[in-house]
Structure 1
Amino acid sequence: MKYVPLLSIGVLCTLASRAQAPVPEAPEPPDPVEVISTDTAAGKDGGYSVSMGLSGGIKAEKANKKSRLSFTYLNMDFGVNFMHDKTDYGSAETIRFLNVPQEYRNESLFSLAQGKSWNFNLWPVKMHYKFGTSDNNYFSMSAALGLQVFNFKYTKPVHFENKTTPQVVLREDVTLTKNKLSVMYGSIPLMLHYTTKLSRNTALRFGFGMIGGMNISTWTKQKSNEINIPKNRDIMNLQRFQTSLVGEIGLPGYFTLFATYQLTDMYKYGLQQQPVSIGIRF
């Protein structure tokens, strides 16, 4: 019986120690895990980004697509000039305008030194807009603002006189070593292009359009070993505005050939001459 109290004390101590032991807390539920996956599917107007998660459900967003609008800078054209002459040299108007001997009243009066009559165009910024998403075959358009410079070097000593009635005469008082007429236009070209892929890195492009221009400067440059001849910057008989057809064909990144044909007569009256230029485009 003497062990009963001791046994009772031991049981009580054990129960007390268990009562003081901390009870482990139940673990907190983990934060919701959102699983997101993206994929891009080709669509009519571009790709779409698709995401799936526990909180947001399924979300489809427009993927970033390549802009159809682009720009190129410092575009240049170099070409040679020809003259389409439709003048009726027997008309009364032309006879009044050309104060030259009768044997010179024909289109050879304004014959050009080929290879020395050149055209230079500068387009500081050109805008391109692509239609559609295909990279193999597509249409595009381009527009720009720039300068066109036409130089016409004559083989004969034609000379423009500024009078009440402007006239063209043959300069016979001196021997000319250079006789050139230059015209500068501020121009806006608008073109439609078609590009077709030939291989992975090569494409063929065609283009056709119009150019509208305003005459902003005109001058003649005559040189003689005998006297100094000042430039004439006041030629009154040239048209203020011009409209031209323009076409091009080439391999983008390699070379492009261009041609322009001026629909507007270069002169207001007396002559029906329309410049033609053919060259290479950079």
Structure 2
Amino acid sequence: MKHKVLLCLILVLCMGWAQGQNVDTSHQANIAATPAAAPVPDTFWIKGLILIKGKNEKGRNTYKVYSDTAYARARLKKNLHTRWFVFDIGFNNYIDRSEYGGASYIAYYPNTSGFYNGAMPAARAYDYSAVGLSTFAPREGSEPLTPAEFKLVTGKSINFNIWLFQQRLNITKHKLNLLYALGLEMNNFRYARNITYQPGYATRIIRDTVEFSKNKLFAEYISIPVMLNFNSNPARPNRAFQASFGVSGGYLIKSRTKQISEERGKVRKTDDFNLNKWRFGLTSELGYGPVKLYGNFALTPLHDYGLQQYPFSVGLRLNGF
């Protein structure tokens, strides 16, 4: 009996050894037939983004970018976030509600009527044309300016803003936030007509006799916008819809004009040019993922008196939330 058991054990061991040899042989054959495994791609993490570098079938480098949701969720543990140096680039224009026949307008510009609603008589100028010389009759100054005189070259009336910092404060689950900033708003108003600001008290705007190749008014404000912000997907900001709306206040810190012509060359004048020192208005922001648009509309006119022009600007916001 013992011999039979020992014989059975020897047979089992021999069969197991034979099967092991077959498995090893087939495994080695599979390894020989299988091509070398592709190398593990390189992975990089860049603040909210995952960059994976690999190779395609032709051996060329490939790159894939994914949102790092873990990074975004970790940031949600903070209620206050800050962005430094946010930039805006866009275009300026204005809505003109001026009463070009009103008394305040007459006091602001030369006009053709001797008296208008108690205004002082307009300055007279002599006409030295053939008809004027034949009659020796003086005529009054040039016709008053019209809305067409203040037409802007929209594509060259650039709005450029630098926000030194922008902060977002969580109100409810990071979907409703308070958004505010501090920065400089720089507005260029490029005039299509040949008008000239004459500094002094009071400032006047005249129709000039020179053809300008460049004629602009520059106004710079230090501003603080405050907005309510809605974020549809705080955990995935690159796929989130955002909308913000609020108010903005600013103070004029610099204003100047720049004119270029063949007759006078390049002329710069620095003055307040009767511009409003304070500016209040509405501000908004709309975006999806990293692409954001902004819009500003002033509730106070550009000028302190005379003209009633309400500037607005629209454009692209860079490096914002």
Same fold (TM over 0.5): yes
1:211 is displaced (CA, Å) by: 1.0
Pair member with larger Rg: 1
- Pick one of 204, 212, 231 that aligns with 1:195: 231
Residue type of the alignment partner of 1:133: K
Residue type of the alignment partner of 2:195: V
Contact kept? 1:148, 1:185, Cα under 8 Å: yes
Residue type of the alignment partner of 1:249: L
1:104 is displaced (CA, Å) by: 5.3
SS at match of 1:165: coil
Gaps of 5+ in 1: 1-63
Cα distance in structure 2, aligned partners of 1:94 and 1:218: 22
Contact kept? 2:254, 2:272, Cα under 8 Å: no
Counterpart of 1:122?
A: 162
Residue type of the alignment partner of 1:96: A
- Pick one of 244, 256, 268 that aligns with 2:281: 244
Query: In the alignment, does 2:91 pair up with 1:80?
Result: yes
Query: In the alignment, does 2:119 pair up with 1:108?
Result: no
Contact kept? 2:239, 2:288, Cα under 8 Å: yes
Contact kept? 2:216, 2:258, Cα under 8 Å: yes
Gaps of 5+ in 2: 1-74, 113-141
- Pick one of 160, 183, 186 that aligns with 2:219: 183
Query: In the alignment, does 2:264 pair up with 1:233?
Result: no
1:83 is displaced (CA, Å) by: 1.1
Offset from partner CA, 1:140-168 (integer Å, 9 cap, x none)? 11111110001000011111112332211
More helix by share: 2
Cα distance in structure 1, aligned partners of 2:276 and 2:263: 33
Counterpart of 1:162?
A: 199
Instruction: Give the TM-score normalised by the residue count of structure 1.
Output: 0.71
Cα distance in structure 2, aligned partners of 1:266 and 1:208: 22
Contact kept? 1:188, 1:213, Cα under 8 Å: yes
Offset from partner CA, 1:28-50 (integer Å, 9 cap, x none)? xxxxxxxxxxxxxxxxxxxxxxx
- Pick one of 96, 104, 109 that aligns with 2:107: 96
Cα distance in structure 2, aligned partners of 1:94 and 1:124: 38
Contact kept? 2:218, 2:256, Cα under 8 Å: yes
Name the % identity. 32
Residue type of the alignment partner of 1:248: E
Contact kept? 2:233, 2:239, Cα under 8 Å: yes
Contact kept? 2:145, 2:206, Cα under 8 Å: no
Offset from partner CA, 1:262-282 (integer Å, 9 cap, x none)? 011111111000101111111
Counterpart of 1:259?
A: 295
Offset from partner CA, 1:230-259 (integer Å, 9 cap, x none)? 311113411111001011110132x11111
CA 123–94 in structure 1, closer or farther in 2 if over 3 Å, else same? same
- Pick one of 250, 273, 277 that aligns with 2:309: 273
Instruction: Give the TM-score normalised by the residue count of structure 2.
Output: 0.63
Contact kept? 1:153, 1:178, Cα under 8 Å: yes
1:105 is displaced (CA, Å) by: 3.1
Cα distance in structure 2, aligned partners of 1:165 and 1:66: 56
Cα distance in structure 1, aligned partners of 2:285 and 2:76: 29
Contact kept? 1:87, 1:273, Cα under 8 Å: yes
Counterpart of 2:78?
A: 67
Contact kept? 2:145, 2:207, Cα under 8 Å: no
Cα distance in structure 1, aligned partners of 2:216 and 2:96: 18
- Pick one of 139, 162, 169 that aligns with 2:176: 139
1:199 is displaced (CA, Å) by: 9.6
